[in-house]
Structure 1
């Protein structure tokens, strides 16, 4: 697919324009309204493909619990008593079927995985993704960070947790994981997929080891890499930074045909699982 089309979609999904303006620009790029409409199913997420590890798989157990007003989708191995815990933080579309699938996949890897819905206080993640993005944009930053810390504390205190807690986030969630690492000194590990970087002046507060995944074509997010890495090095922080050449923002999202890249997603996933076992096991 034309990279200009993917870049336009990325700008739209991150709030630079409304749907009407996006469709106008897409029509110009595609050459006609019919061609633009034909591109939409490829650009937008298809949650019919969100079950790499379906609900009901015998390897895992799932339930939904509440943590101080935040609904949390829990998945854990079907056998055993205690596991390392991992908070899973969604993209700017809320706790959708794809993120629930990621949560189940982590459970199958031997973790107590918790997909938190940070739109819970606004009524929960809606089916309408445009509405979800608007709701994400309206969240109070400090309150959201506090909610994430509350979930981390709740996971650590659970009797089925081994007492160690990490966090993994994607897109908006990757940015929140970076900020959580800054503001929660108890966090034991942090993985950010193509997430906005924290302010360089705040990096000194990070205690957790970091695993950072970036997409080579993601100019918007990658503009902050150099300053972040320089601050991490200056502060002597433990981190691993990977840039996956030739792939787009959201390359891990297997429900998005235009941006998903299986090779990069599989490599990043294997690195993430190994990192979590090393830091939390």
Structure 2
């Protein structure tokens, strides 16, 4: 039995067979079909000195967590997935953070809508799963994860959040939603967008009220997030007092930290990771 299987809490009897199949698919591991094949640059962080695996934190809340094998009351980092779910790359990010002394928790935020790893292309994935996920559901699940972190031995009074792409946008929103967290790091998350019933606000709308300092890590060659949207966000942040900052990497495009994809830009990713850790520690996490 794998460590992941060993750490998974038993599923309650009321979980229906369809949900069991979905959870089993999530636990199968690997990378999302939509990003196959993975590149040779893919980083693998081992679990030596760690406890890492899956947990069931509620009827519809499955999460991957990694922490040091010894000690307790670790500071907590919520890790928010890309559109591809908590696949191997996000799990690896959790293990990297655990090696730095954190309890890293990554919830499967699309579990009610479907298995993000099972779709062969991004357009189909977005249409069938991602577009159906309400922001309110996501924020509530992250609240629940922060509470569950205490069950795992974490100190939820010293908590931060980081997220990538889709999760970068959520990082900004959660920092506004929960002012008790100490810091955030948003990796190339969308800042502007159309307001809908499921996505009623975007980062630029919450920026003036933001109290939590967020470090924005963005690519100068990101065609999906143009620099004028970053400039708009900076202006909105000036209306508040969060102390948030941006770092824009001129040679990086979108998803420059995704080491399993051709978009990976190692110099920018490594510098961003270093700055994120410094940012968390600077703000008491």
TM interval, shorter chain, is 0.7 to 0.9
Aligned to 2:183, which of 168, 181, 189?
189
TM-score where L is the length of structure 2: 0.76
User: 1:208 Cα deviation (Å)?
Assistant: 1.2
Runs of 4 or more off by more than 6 Å in structure 1? Answer: none
Match of 2:199 in 1: none
Alpha-carbon distance in 2 for matches of 1:159, 1:259: 34
SS of equivalent residue, structure 2 residue 218 = strand
Q: For the structure 1 residues 274 and 199, does the alpha-carbon distance in structure 2 shift closer, same or farther, using more than 3 Å as the test?
A: closer
Residue correspondence of structure 1 range 1-281 to structure 2 within 5 A: 44=36, 46=38, 50-54=42-46, 57-68=47-58, 69-130=60-121, 132-133=125-126, 134-155=128-149, 157-158=150-151, 160-162=153-155, 163-197=157-191, 198-222=202-226, 223-256=228-261, 258-281=262-285
Specify which structure has the higher proportion of helix.
Answer: 1
Give the RMSD, CA atoms, in angstroms. Answer: 2.2
Q: For the structure 1 residues 49 and 79, does the alpha-carbon distance in structure 2 shift closer, same or farther, using more than 3 Å as the test?
A: farther
User: 1:80 Cα deviation (Å)?
Assistant: 1.6
TM-score where L is the length of structure 1: 0.77
SS of equivalent residue, structure 2 residue 260 = coil
Match of 1:36 in 2: none
Alignment size in residue pairs: 236
Gaps of at least 5 residues in structure 1 are: 1-40
Is the CA contact 1:93–1:136 (under 8 Å) kept in the aligned structure 2? no
Is the CA contact 2:211–2:241 (under 8 Å) kept in the aligned structure 1? no
Is the CA contact 1:47–1:98 (under 8 Å) kept in the aligned structure 2? no
Is the CA contact 1:149–1:180 (under 8 Å) kept in the aligned structure 2? no
Gaps of at least 5 residues in structure 2 are: 1-32, 192-201
Alpha-carbon distance in 2 for matches of 1:45, 1:174: 24
Alpha-carbon distance in 2 for matches of 1:159, 1:250: 30
SS of equivalent residue, structure 1 residue 115 = strand
> Which deviates the most, 203-212 or 165-174?
203-212
Alpha-carbon distance in 2 for matches of 1:274, 1:95: 25
Alpha-carbon distance in 2 for matches of 1:102, 1:182: 23
Alignment deviations for residues 76-103 of structure 1 (CA, whole Å, 9 cap, x no partner) = 0112222100010011111111111111
